[in-house]
A and B are shown apart, each in its own frame.
Chain A
Amino acid sequence: MAIAVVLVLLVIGSLIFHFASPWWFTPIASNWTTMDDTVILTFWVTGVVFVVVNLFLAWVVWKYRHRKGHKADYDPENKKLEWWLTIVTSVGVAAMLAPGLFVWDKFVDVPDDAAIVEAIGQQWHWSFRFPGEDGELGHSDATLITPENPFGLDPDDPKGGDDVLVASPELHLPVDQPVKVLLRSKDVLHNFTVTQFRVKMDLIPGMITHLWLTPTVPGSYELLCEELCGVGHFAMRGRVVVTPREEFDTWLAALPTFDDTQALAAADPHAGAGQYAVCAACHGAAGEGNPALNAPRLAGQDAWYLRRQLHAFRNGVRGVHERDTYGAQMRPFAAMLADDASIRNLAAYVQSLPGQATQATVAGNVDRGRRLYGTCASCHGREGQGIWALNAPRLADMSDWYLVRQLLNFQHGVRGTHRQDFYGWQMATFADSLKNERSINDVVAYINTLDPQPARTARKD
């Protein structure tokens, strides 16, 4: 009895939930409105079946419930009824399948006027490449990837020289221009998903896959990875910015080509030594850091990381949060660096500083810290040595009090919240997984025990 009533209530409840739910399609921003239409068509067909079958079930359960003296019919088969049901079902199925295949045909068939862009996935970052003036992408190979050639382009392929490289997770696309997105992975499976575009496709190492779409609404959309790609899967984010054609052209023109990146002169640590004199006032002559001045150790830190942070301070991406007092102090000093070359020289010098073992100032449960560090090791390396390919800086031997402060900054939204700080955002999502200050102390206490030297491998610069 109750079950019949509950079945009816569940049907009604499901319908109310369906129509009242605040969770529905994100407004579409691509040409694939037909995909939404097929979803809605499927909702109608299946919805009718859901309601009819379950209400009939409820009615049957109520009507033929056991009562004294009541006896069941003996009714083994009813060929006519079974055939009718089969035919009606087949028609319903065909009504959903046919439009679906029609739309799929459009998806399979990439329009001839589609522009080309390559989206490159790696653990746990995005980067992009445009074909440049020749309209063709140069050959690439995962085995060619080095710190100097992170895109893995073939230097011997003349088509690759003018390829425009986007070494950032932010891709710009012109509105109303059909685009074929070629998908390439450096390491494992990934998936290119912009919810507002509806279409998505996996990236498979060893082959190039693709999807196509026409962005129709200018705006900024999150790019998500939707194929499990390891422990950082949930933090693999990018952004697709759809703009009018002119803005897109301006953005693209400012980006370096592959040839530009290869022609860059090697950094000169000696030139950097001169610039370091200013830094030494706080960070110490040997880059050993000074807790009294809230200046962390720099010696031995990866040059690519120092460069990124100096740029961030200079461009107002870091040190701008009102509670980031120490970060704000750093900003005018970063602004003193004249250009990219001087930043490169300075960073190269600092990385070359030998540094001594740092004094441990943080106490915590090392065993618990070791377990928690398992996740950190996925990017920063088992010995905290830092891995350039993952954009993860060195942690071992760095000032432990500074690590604690930065983890707290990440947790409290003081760092990693600027919209251009993609890597900081990623770190903030991981810092959140430490949940409380005790865990932070434990993990930093464990980092104090690490010895990065044997694990140091090739680094940028």
Chain B
Amino acid sequence: MGVPFKKPEALSDMHTHYCPGCTHGVIHRLVAETIDELGVRGRTVGVAPVGCAVLAYNYFTFDFQEAAHGRAPAVATGIKRVRPDLVVFTYQGDGDLASIGTAEIIHAANRGEKFTTIFVNNAVYGMTGGQMAPTTMPDQRTTTSPFGRNVEEVGMPVKIAELLSALATPGYITRQTVIKPKYIIRAKKAIKKAFTYQLENRCFSLVEVISNCPTNWGLTPLESIKWAEETMLPYYQLGDYKTPE
């Protein structure tokens, strides 16, 4: 999207509650742009998580359902199975998808449910005040790993894109980020590809988006962008992990 540039119709006017510099807002906008461009706002249903994006439905102008923590893929399965004509997506964070909801996402992906998941990975539990997540980096300090994540005790961070791409069922699994403009452009393409696969009734799609959390990382917005690029991107490598072709 170049010039002219304005807020997409699928995004509401409401000022978000997200922290200054948190890229949730960017990801929301990319999803909204995609929905506008594909012309599907009238038949889209979003499924909101429990996490910072619990109020995501306030920022979109189409049908939405709340889900319990981790259960968004089950809710989305219910909606899409009974109404395959609707465009359904879930928007989930680390705790939601990589902790309490891991069974749900694996099984939805394995069944090849024809909805799209946007998975925001910022290596921490934001909404509840910065606790450790399964995706927290080694030695990263959080409120429940005050001495740094000890991988001897709690293992290495979970790589969801790799995990899901190991399933035999065809799907589109990709990892992107939105911490800098060049990445934002690629992320947008991936998100649009994911939704397009759904419109073609092709496969399950998941876009893991490496994001920042300035507040709970204890960094300024600019410092958090740097930390994400230097610490997270080498571990959580970007790219397409699986395509249905």
User: Do A and B interact?
Assistant: no
